[in-house]
């Protein structure tokens, strides 16, 4: 007799890859693995977000971003103040008013101006903290979502391929099973005919 009864096909495993992710679909479940760059980027996002949320809830001038902004502003104020002081000093000297009391008064006013400018800028930094920090959080979340989207795209391709492979395997199994059943039916008919002939021969 021909080949034996076909075995029911197992669940096929399929893999799909793009430059950003590799996805696998099998009977254990569906999964994808991002490339090294996206994995590193997601790790950075995961490590950075807690600090940003803390900055959002507890604004502080000690954050790295605010410190950088404060340093830049203070350098600008100091540079402008020095230029302003020098201009005023030259003006006093040209008018013959260069007395210690006038210089001290000018220095005190300049110092107060610096203090006011820096204090005002610090208050604005804290006031704008929610907007700035929220924008940073959104940027990081968008980066994180990019990896998820690319991984999902690879996973969809793997799933579509998996359905095609398993549908084909099932169709092929049905064809082989039908052929096997037909073969068995023919064999049973032939066996029945042989038995009838044998009985007739004995009569």
Q: Which residues contact 199 (CB under 8 A, 6 or more apart)?
A: none
Contact 159/25 with Cβ under 8 angstroms? yes
Q: Which residues contact 63 (CB under 8 A, 6 or more apart)?
A: 55
Burial of 151 (0-12, 13-18, 19+ CB in 10 A): buried
The neighbouring-strand residues paired with 31 are 24
Contact 15/23 with Cβ under 8 angstroms? yes
Classify the phi-psi angles of 113: left when phi > 0, otherwise alpha if psi is within -120 to 50, otherwise beta: alpha
Contact 32/23 with Cβ under 8 angstroms? yes
The neighbouring-strand residues paired with 25 are 14, 30
The neighbouring-strand residues paired with 24 are 15, 31
pLDDT digits (tens, 9 = 90+) for 149-200: 999 999 999 999 999 999 999 999 999 999 999 998 888 888 878 777 777 7
Classify the phi-psi angles of 26: left when phi > 0, otherwise alpha if psi is within -120 to 50, otherwise beta: beta
Per-residue pLDDT of the chain (203 residues; tens, 9 = 90+): 556 888 999 999 999 999 999 999 998 889 999 999 999 999 999 999 999 999 888 888 887 778 888 889 988 888 777 777 666 666 656 666 556 666 677 777 878 888 888 899 999 988 888 888 899 999 999 999 999 999 999 999 999 999 999 999 999 999 999 999 999 888 888 887 877 777 777 76
The rounded distance, in Å, linking the Cα atoms of 95 and 103 is 13
Q: Where are the domains of the chain?
A: 14-202
The rounded distance, in Å, linking the Cα atoms of 150 and 198 is 71
Q: Enter the DSSP assignment of 32.
A: E
């Amino acid at each position: 007799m021909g080949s034996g009864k076909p075995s029911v096909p197992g669940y096929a495993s399929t893999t799909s890859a793009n430059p950003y992710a590799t996805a696998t679909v099998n009977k254990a479940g569906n999964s994808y693995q991002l490339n090294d760059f996206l994995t590193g980027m997601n790790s950075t996002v995961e490590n950075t977000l807690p600090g940003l949320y803390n900055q959002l809830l507890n604004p502080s001038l000690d954050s790295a971003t605010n410190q950088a902004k404060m340093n830049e502003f203070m350098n600008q104020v100091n540079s402008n103040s020095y230029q302003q002081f020098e201009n005023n000093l030259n003006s006093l000297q040209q008018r013959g008013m260069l007395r210690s009391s006038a210089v001290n008064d000018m220095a005190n006013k300049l110092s107060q101006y610096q203090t006011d400018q820096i204090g005002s800028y610090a208050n604005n930094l804290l006031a704008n903290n929610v907007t700035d920090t929220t924008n940073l959080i959104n940027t990081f979340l968008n980066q994180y979502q990019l990896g998820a989207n690319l991984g999902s795209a690879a996973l969809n391709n793997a799933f579509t391929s998996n359905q095609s492979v398993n549908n084909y395997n099932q169709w092929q199994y049905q064809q082989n099973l039908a052929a096997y059943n037909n073969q068995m039916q023919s064999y049973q008919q032939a066996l029945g005919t042989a038995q009838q002939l044998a009985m007739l021969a004995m009569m």
